[in-house]
């Protein structure tokens, strides 16, 4: 059963969620973890996000729903947390919360404008274009739990390299541990990883191609460590850029994939 990847923080009960990066995922390095942030809600929820500018965060729309107050958690070098105020939240107009609850495809992305800039190095977006095929590799990062059901194992940015399965498209991408292929417990997103970035390496540097939306346990069971569901940004990139301008944030230049001829031909055939 697919579950939305929101989680209740620390000692709160986990519900309707997928846990953080499980399966022995190590702490993320600066390249993949430096721009990842944590979001908490007044109803006890917590998610991940990625800074696209020092005052602009991309996350999953289901992580920042109306009716609750949200804060961003920033950690200093000693891992001491500071709560940061939000200045505004913009959900993609095509986001359907009912579809998200039913685990159906929707525009599960939102932008958050911060009241004050973060001390982070923002991450660039992948430019439009570039086909995705089964077996392509991506890095997923988030603050979620490392042990399912153990909220105390959350709070560290972890990263895992996963591969695309099935027939990836522009509406949804499913990722799995390249070793277990989602059939046995392995690496994957879990509680608190919703909204976390999915990176593709462009010229040896990671660029954001999507955000985490949901996960399953092994063999499509309930939980995490099986499949990681991703909302790709290809269809929504123009909205992100336009909305960033409206919110007064300056994005980094996008990174353009340099694809080999056979991959370019495969993309043209589609």
Q: Percent of the chain scored above 90 by pLDDT?
A: 59
Summarize the confidence of residues 110-114 as an average pLDDT. Answer: 98
Query: Of residues 234 and 21, which shows the higher confidence score?
Result: 234
pLDDT in tens, 115-136: 999 989 999 999 865 789 999 9
For the record, the structure tokens of 240 come out as: 């992100």
* Residue pair 137/187 in contact by the 8 Å Cβ criterion: no
**What gap in Å lies between CA 175 and CA 84, rounded to an integer?**
32
* Residue pair 222/216 in contact by the 8 Å Cβ criterion: yes
**What are residue 263's phi and psi, to 5 degrees?**
-75, -40
pLDDT in tens, 91-110: 999 999 988 877 788 999 99
pLDDT in tens, 186-219: 999 999 999 999 999 877 788 999 999 999 999 9
DSSP secondary structure code for residue 24 in this structure? S
pLDDT at 129: 59
Q: Specify which residues 24 forms β-bridges with.
A: none
- End-to-end Cα distance, the chain: 30
pLDDT at 3: 40
**Per-residue pLDDT at 36 exceeds 70:** yes
pLDDT tier at 253 (50, 70, 90 boundaries)? confident
Helix (H, G, I), strand (E, B) or coil at 159: strand
**What gap in Å lies between CA 8 and CA 16, rounded to an integer?**
9
How many CB atoms are located within 10 Å of the residue 136 CB?
Answer: 18
pLDDT in tens, 175-195: 999 999 999 999 999 999 999
**What gap in Å lies between CA 103 and CA 208, rounded to an integer?**
23
Q: Percent of the chain scored above 70 by pLDDT?
A: 86
Summarize the confidence of residues 232-256 as an average pLDDT. Answer: 91
**What gap in Å lies between CA 175 and CA 165, rounded to an integer?**
6
Q: Which domains does the chain have, with CATH numbers?
A: 3-246 (2.40.10.10)
Q: Which residues contact 187 (CB under 8 A, 6 or more apart)?
A: 21, 22, 23, 24, 25, 160, 161, 162, 177, 179, 180, 225
How big is the chain, counted in residues?
Answer: 270
DSSP secondary structure code for residue 123 in this structure? P
**What gap in Å lies between CA 213 and CA 2, rounded to an integer?**
10
Query: Of residues 30 and 64, which shows the higher confidence score?
Result: 64
Q: Which residues contact 150 (CB under 8 A, 6 or more apart)?
A: none
**Closest-CA residue to 196 (of 164, 154, 252):** 154
Query: Of residues 16 and 173, which shows the higher confidence score?
Result: 173
Q: What is the pTM (predicted TM-score) of this model?
A: 0.86
**What gap in Å lies between CA 55 and CA 153, rounded to an integer?**
28
* Residue pair 118/54 in contact by the 8 Å Cβ criterion: yes
Summarize the confidence of residues 44-70 as an average pLDDT. Answer: 95
């Amino acid at each position: 059963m697919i579950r939305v990847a929101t989680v209740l923080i620390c000692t709160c009960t986990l519900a309707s969620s997928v846990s953080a990066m499980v399966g022995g995922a190590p702490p993320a390095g600066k390249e993949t973890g430096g721009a990842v942030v944590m979001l908490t809600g007044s109803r006890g929820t917590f998610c991940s996000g990625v800074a696209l500018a020092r005052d602009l965060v991309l996350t999953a729309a289901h992580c920042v729903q109306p009716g609750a107050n949200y804060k961003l958690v920033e950690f200093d070098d000693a891992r001491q947390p500071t709560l940061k105020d939000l200045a505004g939240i913009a959900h993609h107009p095509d986001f359907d919360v009912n579809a998200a609850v039913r685990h159906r495809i929707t525009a599960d992305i939102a932008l958050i404008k911060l009241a004050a800039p973060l001390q982070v190095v923002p991450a660039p977006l992948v430019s439009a274009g570039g086909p995705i095929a089964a077996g392509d590799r991506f890095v997923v990062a988030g603050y979620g739990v490392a042990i399912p059901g153990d909220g105390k194992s959350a709070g560290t940015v972890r990263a895992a390299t996963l591969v695309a399965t099935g027939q990836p498209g522009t509406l949804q991408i499913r990722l799995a541990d390249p070793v277990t292929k989602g059939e046995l417990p392995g690496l994957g997103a879990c509680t608190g990883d919703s909204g976390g970035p999915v990176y593709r390496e462009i010229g040896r540097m990671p660029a954001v191609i999507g955000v985490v939306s949901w996960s399953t346990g092994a063999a499509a069971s309930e939980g995490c460590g099986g499949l990681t569901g991703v909302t790709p940004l290809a269809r929504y990139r123009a909205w992100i850029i336009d909305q960033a301008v409206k919110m007064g944030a300056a994005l980094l230049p996008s990174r353009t994939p340099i694809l080999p001829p056979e991959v370019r031909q495969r993309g043209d055939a589609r």
